[in-house]
């Protein structure tokens, strides 16, 4: 797990930018505190920071590799893990006569590219963002994993193009690219989508000049040329896995295999543990490979917002050592500016705050943790997936009647029971569902966003995914939208950013190609059945996870911001709004009124307030440069039993 930065010069002057690339890598120190590396030729300059997980004494990057007749042909930088690298290595040795000088996955990756070309990405089982420079062909090849577990930003300017694991690195490198030193204009559309979704959807960022390589995409680019991108992974979520006990048994086997390969590491591996079935399943299966597994959870002092007791009961039942981190409102306020700095772009998911704290605690014990992200999207775990069934009576009404009901709902007061059901029932799926998070509605957005554009509907984000799944059942279509929006925009961003902020690698066994291949074929009855979600997964895990977890609703890391913004965090929030210089973008007076209305109740504005507050902090850090978080030395949080690598 690492951080990379690469500048491909447009005019053969990369050596002149090598020092700037090295300096900009300072923004990635937390991603790779163990060692750094750099390399350049006339066209390209690489920078790298390494968190050593596999083959810790070797596999240094940037790595130069080539066949016997051209040993320095390729240079690679790679962030992530290839879990099936032993199998790929054996195949390359047996069938291609490949020879290897290291025991790591980086060398296997570049050798596989040499023999299989761009098709290599379809052979990889892992999480990755990598760049390979071919000095003979003078071309750069790169790719990002199918689900977007590992990030990859890029920026193009008159002087060249740069790729990075951290957006901050590209902001630091902007002058070398011929871009504005502050990253240039903010993207109004991205801001509007952020306030709707609580994250900036791919491929955008809030800086117009900086974009993201999308998940499941590979690309090529030559000096002075444009990035030629191609999607290699197109998920299909309906098909013929079947149903019944035999299917559940096969699913259990697929999960056992995925956890087994995700345990491959030369350093200690732990796991996050909440009170839900997903993380419990990962821990139960990982425990079979490591009886000394350590688990970690975060909680709060408010009982309704903590899974600490359930997680502790689960840990005891599974026989694993358990570590708890309790987070206070004051700690949350103190840490939030630094957390936003690590995020690169705002993500208004309060759960990322306890995740940051529990990752910091875990990094004192291990270098790698397993986690349960992805199970809900693949197996039908969100309660909202039951909405098509509950709204089925509306589907039988004529379109004009449904539209009338939707218009009638707009006249009802906020908070009135049934208002939202009536509103959503009056809309077709493509208009009512745009992902798991819904923060500001268009009418609400117009009251706070000064540059609100009513002709910029959220369907610009979700429309392509609905078109790709037009023939599927409604639940599969919702899952498909979530894979491309909620999962990669919120869930995986916070997972990567909050763990890597603490020099900790997070692995997600549910987001494995073999697991997805199985889950993608499950019929609706194996997702939602008998009043429960993730039906097939629960049946597969019967006898693997403790009974008190098997049918329990997952809470994750719930955060009591609704209460805190009325009490402990009210004055802090008032100060964030009052000090902000983003008044040309956000109506700060309107936000102040919203905060007061939330404090006195009964309307709950907490999610909308949190989205605005996080953006105001982000603006203060990255645009105004008024807020300057103190970034800790990455070496201050290290696994106590693994030492320096």
Active site residues: 2
Tell me the DSSP string of 141-183: EEEE-TT--S--EEEEETTEEEEES-HHHHHHHHHHHTS-TT-
CA 202 – CA 323 distance, rounded (Å): 35
Token readout for 450 is 């000064």
Q: Could you tell me whether strands 368-370 and 505-507 are parallel, antiparallel, or unpaired per DSSP bridges?
A: parallel
Question: Phi, psi (5° rounding) for residue 167?
Answer: -60, -35
Q: What is the DSSP string of 585-607?
A: TB-HHHHHHHHHHHHH-SS--HH
Cis status of the peptide bond prior to 53, with omega within 30 of 0: no
Gap between the Cα atoms of 481 and 450, Å rounded: 28
Q: Are the C-beta atoms of 199 and 495 separated by less than 8 Å? A: no
> Given strand 210-212, what is the order of strands in its sheet?
35-40, 44-50, 2-9, 160-164, 153-157, 210-212
Are 621 and 340 contacting, i.e. CB atoms less than 8 angstroms apart? yes
Length of the chain: 645
Could you tell me if 486 and 433 are in contact, meaning their C-beta atoms sit under 8 angstroms apart? no
Phi, psi dihedrals of residue 184, rounded to the nearest 5°: 85, -160
């Amino acid at each position: 797990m690492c951080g990379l930065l690469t500048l491909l010069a447009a005019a053969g002057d990369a050596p002149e930018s090598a020092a700037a690339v090295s300096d900009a890598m300072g923004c990635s120190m937390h991603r790779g505190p163990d060692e750094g590396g750099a390399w350049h030729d006339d066209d390209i300059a690489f920078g790298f920071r390494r968190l050593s997980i596999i083959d810790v004494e070797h596999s240094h990057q940037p790595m130069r590799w080539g066949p016997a007749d051209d040993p320095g042909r390729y240079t690679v930088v790679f962030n992530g893990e290839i879990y099936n690298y032993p199998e790929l290595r054996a195949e390359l040795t047996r069938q291609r006569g490949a020879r290897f000088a290291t025991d790591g996955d980086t060398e296997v990756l570049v050798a596989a590219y040499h023999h299989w070309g761009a098709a290599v990405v379809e052979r990889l089982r892992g999480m990755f963002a990598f760049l390979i420079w071919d000095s003979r062909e003078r071309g750069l090849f790169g790719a990002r994993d199918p689900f977007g577990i590992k990030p990859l930003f890029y920026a193009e300017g008159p002087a060249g193009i740069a790729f990075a694991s951290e957006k901050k690195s590209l902001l630091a490198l902007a002058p070398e690219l011929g871009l504005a030193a502050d990253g240039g204009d903010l993207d109004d559309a991205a801001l509007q989508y952020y306030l709707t979704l609580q994250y900036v959807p791919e491929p955008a960022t809030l800086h117009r000049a900086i974009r993201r390589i999308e998940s499941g995409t590979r690309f090529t680019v030559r000096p002075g040329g444009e990035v030629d991108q191609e999607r290699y992974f197109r998920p299909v979520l309906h098909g013929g896995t079947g149903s019944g006990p035999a299917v559940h048994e096969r699913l259990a086997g697929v999960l056992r295999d995925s956890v087994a390969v995700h345990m491959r590491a030369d350093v200690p591996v732990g796991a996050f543990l909440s009170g839900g079935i997903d993380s419990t399943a990962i821990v139960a299966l990982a425990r079979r490979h490591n009886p000394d597994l350590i688990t970690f959870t975060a909680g709060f002092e408010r009982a309704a917002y903590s899974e600490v007791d359930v997680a502790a009961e689960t840990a005891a039942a599974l026989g694993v050592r358990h570590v708890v981190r309790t987070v206070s409102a004051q700690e949350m306020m103190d840490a939030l500016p630094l957390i936003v700095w690590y995020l690169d772009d705002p993500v208004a998911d309060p759960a990322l705050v306890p995740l940051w704290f529990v990752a910091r605690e875990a990094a004192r014990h291990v270098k790698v943790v397993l986690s349960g992200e992805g199970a809900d999207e693949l197996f039908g775990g969100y309660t909202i997936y039951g909405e098509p069934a509950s709204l089925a009576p509306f589907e039988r009404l004529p379109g004009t009647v449904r539209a009338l009901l939707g218009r009638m709902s707009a006249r009802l007061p906020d908070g009135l029971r049934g208002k939202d059901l009536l509103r959503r029932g009056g809309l077709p799926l493509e208009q009512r569902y745009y992902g798991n998070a819904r923060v500001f509605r268009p009418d609400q957005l117009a009251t706070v966003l000064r540059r609100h554009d009513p002709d910029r509907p959220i369907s610009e984000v979700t429309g392509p995914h609905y078109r790709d799944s037009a023939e599927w059942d409604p639940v599969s279509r919702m899952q498909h939208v979530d894979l491309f929006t909620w999962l990669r925009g919120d869930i995986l961003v916070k997972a990567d950013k909050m763990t890597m902020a603490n020099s900790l690698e997070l692995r997600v066994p549910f987001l494995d190609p073999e697991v997805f291949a199985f889950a993608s074929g499950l019929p609706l009855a194996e997702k939602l059945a008998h009043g429960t979600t993730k039906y097939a997964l629960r049946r597969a895990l019967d006898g693997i996870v403790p009974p008190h977890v098997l049918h329990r609703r997952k809470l994750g890391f719930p955060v009591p911001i609704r209460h805190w913004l009325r009490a402990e965090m009210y004055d802090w929030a008032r100060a964030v709004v009052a000090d902000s210089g983003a008044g040309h973008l956000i109506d700060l007076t309107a936000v102040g009124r919203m905060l007061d209305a939330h404090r006195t109740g009964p309307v709950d504005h907490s999610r909308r307030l949190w989205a605005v507050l996080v953006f105001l902090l982000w603006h203060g850090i990255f645009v105004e440069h008024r807020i300057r978080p103190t970034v800790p030395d990455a070496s201050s949080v290290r696994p106590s039993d693994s030492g320096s690598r």
